[in-house]
Chain A
Amino acid sequence: MTLWFVFALMTVAAIFAVLWPLSRGRPAGTDGSEAVVYRDQLAEIDRDMAAGIISAAEAGAAKVEISRRLLAASDQEQHEVPVQSNLKLRRMAATLGLVGLPVVAAGFYLALGSPQLGDFPLAARSRAADANQPLTNLVAQVEAHLEKNPTDGRGWSVLAPVLSRLGRYDDAVRAYRNAITYAGDNADRRADLGEALIGTAGGVVTAEAKAEFERAIAQDADDAKANYFLGLAAEQDGRKADAAAIWQKMLATGPGDAPWRPLVQAALVRVGGVSAPALPDGAVAAAKDMSEADRNTMIRGMVDRLATRLKQNGDDVEGWLRLVRAYLVMGERDKAMSAVADARQAVASNAERLRQLNDGLKNLGLDG
């Protein structure tokens, strides 16, 4: 109700601005004319001459010129139609203000406005938690809390794995980074961060991820996750012998009942390293299973899925960059270049995205 009252007041004020001059007769004679300007100019010349800025001869010439213009101007003013008042026109203008203005305003506002919506200033909105909320809402709340208290290291370390599991790798990377900053640096967190980075790259061990694993190893040489992924990095780089060496060392020094043993053994078989020593039948079978779901195929599958998804919906700049990066890491430069071309086409209509894309490509070392 108040809203409509305010609208009405505003409309009245606007109409008043139109009607007020119409209601008055001839205003006080404030309007200037050309003759006034010329007369001022003549006075100015006298002052300039007195100040010694121009000589008497120059002043004389200028005065002649201006006087000539002054005469012409006053002559013209006398011929002009005097200002008059036209009642019919004034009535018309008044009607325009009284009727036209509210009609135009209401027409536009009702078509565009949302009078039913009140204000929602952030301070007035409740952030109370609800037990029945789905996981994403809880995550959002934790995130909101962390945005306000960004130095809460424990919060970040709780949030990070959840984000990773939800597939929000980019956010997980940030969360792990913050956890490292505020809750302390350790090998586990570095390795987890590296894993999340691999997630953002669609399964490819990027240089950035590798750097994290190396930092983890620097703190704890036996960190299983970091060692495994460093091996995988070597494999993806085509250095199978290095990969095999890393994994063999893991198997040799790691505890016998470690849960990661089958995975590492399978990987070792894949790179054609020395086959795992005296495996029980079950483990061989498991390794066989893993061979079928070969990691390379798996990556390829992920990349292909990404490519298909981007074909359907090309707005995802991050996705395109991830695809290009994946092709580059897999050594398929041709495919990478064609993905670049596709990406450019897909986001060409959006300047902001195009810029992001170009920046990203520059970071990947692909210029122009």
Chain B
Amino acid sequence: MIAESGHYALVLALGLALIQSTVPLLGARWRDAALMNVARSTALAQLLFVAASFVALVTLHVTSDFSVVNVYENSHSLKPLIYKITGVWGNHEGSMLLWVSILALFGGLVAAFGNNLPLSLRAHVLAVQAWIASAFYLFILITSNPFLRIANPPIEGRDLNPVLQDIGLAVHPPMLYLGYVGFSISFSFAVAALLEGRIDAAWARWVRPWTLMAWIFLTLGIAMGSYWAYYELGWGGWWFWDPVENASLMPWLAGTALLHSALVMEKRNALKVWTILLSILTFSLSLLGTFLVRSGVLTSVHAFATDPTRGVFILLILCVFIGGSLTLYAWRASALKQGGLFAPISREGALVLNNLFLTTACATVFIGTLYPLALEVLTGEKISVGAPFFNLTFAPLFVPLLIAVPFGPLLAWKRGDLLGAAQRLMAAGIAAFAAIAVAWAWTYGGATLAPIAIGLAVFVIAGALCDLAERVGLFRIPLSISLRRARGLPRATWGTMFAHAGLGVALIGIVCETTWNSEYIGAMKPDDVASVAGYQLRLDGMTPRQGPNYREMVAQFTVSLDGRRISVMTPSKRNFTTRGASTTEAALLTRGASQLYISLGDTAADGAIAVRIYHKPLVLLIWWGPVLMAFGGLLSLSDRRLRVGAPKPAQAARALQAAE
């Protein structure tokens, strides 16, 4: 009964979504408040039914009801409870159900907390939201139904893909989906604005929190996914430019651009049409990401779903939504009022520059990801575009962007003073050169570019601090007043500081890890000692162990530094009996922000085991950076104040020039 009720709840959600996607539009057309309000109650009811459906699937997985195909194929009665629950979205059908649940959640949030929205805007937004939802309900019910049954249920399930039996699965997909799907709200707002033919600063004020929330989740989701790949896949790498990773990076880049342009729009009523386009593009890229991962056009670690009908169906959804919204944009954008004007050198100008670089970077990733696919479809030739392409194209785009980052917040709205900003960044520049000099001296004769990159990162961090110091008048006025001013600063300003500094922190981690990473790869027998980056690692021995649904061979290493014993590390290789697959559980030892990493390979006939040991200096900064960024986003989100950008009065500027 649980299975069938869950199934029926999903069907009802589809019915409600169909009504929600039409009736409110009629209401908005004929200005009928009751019809427009249908959007609200149906969105809430839809959330209720999808949630019920999701809870039903979780219950089925927890009780190991193998009469449900999805449970049979992806669960096992011996799996620990947490993996029974996370296994719900560790497979194609369940993850799509999570996708629509989150979509319904966002719809429900707009319905419940959208009191400050004009009635017709809310009706339009929820109707567009329901179009997306209807398409995905149909997709789930027709091609990937998680509630299909087996009449003669088997006694045991086939278990979850062992790579996914990890705590990372509990966090990474929900975070990522909250990010992907969160951008559907700004998409719906953009399409609603196009339908209504009206857009203004108030629009941006309503869109910003949603975009910010989606961006925070996407940032954390990507960082979490990267860390998961780092410790679970056993290769010691944290970013592979894998198409699936790129699929999540593209919406992030577009979303970051959107965040900044929405800021300009809210504060200065400019860049309106561009913001609408970015909203559409960001969600389109999220849909594209879903398509790439879910259709199985890519063969990668994530492609645990392969079925041509699904691919075609998602492609259809993709074409309808992206093509439809872009057509609508081309048709209606010219009717929108253009916004305020600004000089090229101004805060607005800096944000336009930011947008240009981010969208170009996004386009680069887009080409690198899709070109091989297109080539394979057209000519049948298989090529792979890997790290070299992205390093050569992505990095040159990001360097000028990073140089520009500290300047942006220091420029005034409407007309800025680049020289003045440069003067105020003097301290950051000095810090950067000092960092370059120190890094250079430290690693004399080593990599040339690395110290410069570190200098750039320090410049970004120090620049963010400079901006803050400037605002509170540090060292110019008594400290007590500065502190009082700092308390009075809007939280959004603090958020900017943290997010920008996070960028620099992540860059330091990336540079250090890629440049000064040291490794030992070889076969070790018990009592062999390997030394890596000054650490001695002794293999004490290997012991077999039985886990709940796997057997593992655990190797024990004693780590010592200069003869002093520090810790014990126990990497293992797990063999999952039901699927006959094995996973590598790397052992990590954190020392400050650096890590030692051991991963086991195959056992040789003579009892030696292949071992890979890495020392990764400051590697953790790679993930602390995004966490800082997300924290900055959270601070900004918690700031309930309105955003007003006071323009620099023209007369004052002229007076200043005269004085010089």
Contact = CB atoms under 8 A, between A and B. Distances in A.
Given A32-B117, A174-B577, A10 B5 contact: yes
A62 B546 contact: no
A117 B45 contact: no
B63 A122 contact: yes
Contacts of A32: 115-118
B41 A104 contact: no
Given A93-B38, A108-B14, A151-B546, A115 B4 contact: yes
Contacts of B30: 84, 86, 89
A31 B12 contact: no
B303 interface: yes
A6 B489 contact: no
A117 B34 contact: no
Of the candidates A6, A86, A125, the one having the most CB atoms from chain B within 10 angstroms of its own CB is: A86
Interface residues of A, number: 101
Contacts of A293: none
A12 to B, nearest CB: 11
B184 interface: no
A279 B602 CA distance: 46
B240 interface: no
B644 A17 contact: no
Given A6-B5, A11-B12, A89-B27, A140 B155 contact: yes
Interface in B640-660: 641-642, 644-649, 652
B201 interface: yes
B147 A6 contact: no
A44 B642 contact: yes
Interface residues on B, range: 35 or more
A97 to B, nearest CB: 6
Contacts of B19: 18, 93, 96-97, 100-101
A54 interface: yes
A210 B605 contact: yes
Contact of A21 (B14, B37, B49, B78): B37
A168 to B, nearest CB: 12
Interface in A314-364: 318, 349-352, 354-356, 363
Nearest to B117: A32
Given A41-B644, A83-B31, A119 B16 contact: no
A294 B489 CA distance: 89
Contacts of A214: 605
B430 to A, nearest CB: 28
Interface string A94-123: 001100111011001100111101111111
Interface stretch (B64-72, B251-259, B365-373): B64-72
A62 B645 contact: yes
A118 B1 contact: yes
A257 interface: no
Given A89-B27, A120-B65, A62 B155 contact: no
Given A21-B37, A26-B33, A41-B644, 4 more contacts: A20-B41, A85-B33, A104-B11, A112-B148
7 contacts: A14-B16, A17-B42, A37-B201, A85-B33, A89-B27, A109-B7, A352-B306
**CB-based closest 9 A-B pairs:** A17-B45, A32-B116, A121-B63, A58-B646, A21-B37, A122-B64, A37-B202, A62-B646, A351-B303
